[in-house]
């Protein structure tokens, strides 16, 4: 059992006064089978009020609405949660490799998971690159996905400043450099081309054990393997996700889980400094 403390803080400064603004953060860790949130405390400067709500995809949001002019706003969230180790994958030896591929072809399966089977703008492979990575159907789906994870890990070099969260795969493939959202989009795209439901996960990564990750929130993939369920893959570190990965939200791509959406009535330059600290005690 790991007792996590996660601190997300952001200072936003504006050249000119902001008259009215709306902010929506999606930064609260999800409650699921391996993580349990015990507390989440938000604070914001300028006497602004924070409201908790649920967005269209069922993830918790923190909303702020400011009505008085300001030039700087500080937002801070502190989460405490316990994370348990994932149960090791229980692979049923009787479940045949072909059965897995057959399951993918069933109409009900394709309908139930259509959201994570169809590509989006950010998870579309350029036409000429559709067979960038080929599945070997003589091997199990899981093995292929692990291979794919490893392939993406080697294909892209982890490097900041090359891409943004909205960079299309065409550019990522050309540059072969990027951050965790790029790794995630590429893996999702290839999995979906091969009819495997894959979703973008945003969350926090505990980097104390030498894992590589973005300076703020990180992204990784969850793929649905028939007979096993959703499995987390981190192509940046070429790992299956474990107790170091704290999930916040998932979606079809980055746009569904954007940590912050905001609307501002102002003009001029702005600077935004965000810091994420992830620590745990065992």
Partner 1 sequence: MKPTNFKHLFSSYDGNENLFDEIFDKKQNVRKVYQKLFDIYNDQSIEEFINLNNKAKTSFFNQGITFQVYNEEKAQEKIFPFDLFPRIIDADEWKIIEHGVLQRCRALNAFIWDIYHDKNIIKAGLVPMELISSSANYLRQMDGLDPVGGIYNHISGTDLIKHSDGKYYVLEDNIRCPSGVSYVVYNRNALKRSLFGVFNHYDIHTVTDYSENLLEILESVKPKGVDVPTCVVITPGVYNSAYFEHSYLAKTMGIELVEGRDLVVENDFVYMKTISGLTKVDVIYRRIDDGFLDPLEFKKDSAIGVPGLFAAYKKGNVTLVNAPGTGVADDKAIYTYMPEIIKFYLGEKPILNNVHTYHCSRATDLKFVLENIHNLVVKPVDEAGGYGISIGNRLTKLEIEAVKKVILQNPRKYIAQPIMSLSVHATYIEDCQSFEQRHVDLRTFTLLGQDKEFVLKGGLTRVALKKGNLIVNSSQGGGSKDTWVLKK
Give the residue, chosen from 19, 57, 130, 216, that forms a contact with partner 1 under the rule CB under 8 A: 57
Residue 272 within binding range of partner 1, rule CB under 8 A: no
Nearest distance from C-beta of residue 266 to partner 1, angstroms? 14
Residue 147 within binding range of partner 1, rule CB under 8 A: no
Q: Which stretch binds partner 1 (CB under 8 A): 7-15, 74-82, 103-111, 186-194?
A: 103-111
The residues in 241-270 that bind partner 1, with binding defined as CB under 8 A, are: 252, 261, 263
Give the residue, chosen from 35, 61, 140, 184, that forms a contact with partner 1 under the rule CB under 8 A: 61
Give the residue, chosen from 5, 9, 55, 171, that forms a contact with partner 1 under the rule CB under 8 A: 55
Residue 164 within binding range of partner 1, rule CB under 8 A: no
Give the residue, chosen from 3, 53, 215, 216, that forms a contact with partner 1 under the rule CB under 8 A: 53
Nearest distance from C-beta of residue 51 to partner 1, angstroms? 6
Nearest distance from C-beta of residue 63 to partner 1, angstroms? 6
Residue 19 within binding range of partner 1, rule CB under 8 A: no
Residue 114 within binding range of partner 1, rule CB under 8 A: yes
Question: H/E/C letters for each residue in the chain?
Answer: CEEEEEEEEEEEEEEEEECCEEEEECCCCCCECCEEEEEEEEEECCCCEEEEEECCCCCEEEEEEECCCEEEEEEEEEEEEEECCCCCCCCCCCCCHHHHHHHHHCHHHHHHCHHHCCCCHHHCCCHHHCCCCCCCCCCCHHHHHHHHHHHHHHHCEECCCCCCCCCCHHHHHHHCEECHHHHHHHHHHHHHHCCCCEEEEEEEECCCCCCCCCCCCEEEEEEEECCCEEEEEECCCCEECCCCEEEEEEECCHHHHCCEEEEECCCCCEEEEEEEEEEEEC
Residue 151: count other Cβ atoms within 10 Å of its Cβ: 17
> Exposure pattern of 49-65 as b/e (b: 16+ CB <10 Å)?
ebeeeeeeeebbbbebe
Nearest distance from C-beta of residue 134 to partner 1, angstroms? 24
Nearest distance from C-beta of residue 124 to partner 1, angstroms? 13
Q: Which stretch binds partner 1 (CB under 8 A): 82-90, 114-122, 184-192, 270-278?
A: 114-122
Give the residue, chosen from 105, 107, 210, 268, that forms a contact with partner 1 under the rule CB under 8 A: 107
* Residues making contact with partner 1 (CB under 8 A): 22, 24, 51, 53-57, 61, 63, 65, 107-108, 110-112, 114-115, 118, 252, 261, 263
């Amino acid at each position: 059992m790991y007792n996590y403390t996660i601190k997300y803080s952001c200072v936003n400064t504006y050249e000119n006064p902001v008259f009215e603004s709306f902010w929506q953060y999606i930064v609260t860790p999800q409650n699921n089978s391996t993580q349990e949130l015990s507390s989440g405390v938000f604070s914001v400067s300028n006497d602004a009020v924070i409201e908790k709500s649920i967005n269209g995809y069922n993830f918790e949001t923190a909303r702020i609405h400011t009505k008085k002019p300001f030039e700087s706003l500080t937002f801070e969230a502190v989460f405490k949660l316990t994370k348990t180790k994932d149960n090791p994958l229980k692979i049923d030896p009787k479940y045949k490799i072909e059965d897995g591929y057959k399951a993918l072809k069933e109409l009900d399966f394709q309908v139930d998971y259509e959201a994570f089977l169809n590509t989006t703008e950010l998870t579309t492979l350029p036409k000429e690159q559709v067979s960038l990575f080929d599945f070997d159907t003589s091997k199990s789906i899981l093995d292929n996905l692990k291979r794919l994870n490893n392939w993406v890990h080697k294909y892209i070099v982890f490097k900041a400043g090359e891409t943004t969260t909205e960079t299309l795969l065409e550019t990522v493939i050309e540059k072969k450099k990027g951050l965790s959202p790029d790794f995630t989009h590429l893996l999702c795209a290839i999995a979906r081309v091969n009819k495997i439901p894959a979703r973008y996960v945003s969350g926090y990564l505990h980097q104390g054990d030498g894992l590589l990750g973005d300076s703020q929130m990180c992204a990784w993939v969850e793929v649905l393997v028939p007979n096993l369920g959703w499995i987390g893959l981190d192509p940046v570190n070429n790992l299956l996700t474990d107790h170091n990965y704290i999930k916040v939200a998932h979606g079809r791509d980055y746009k569904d889980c954007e940590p912050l959406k905001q609307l501002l009535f102002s003009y001029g330059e702005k600077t935004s400094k965000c810091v994420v600290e992830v620590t745990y005690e065992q």
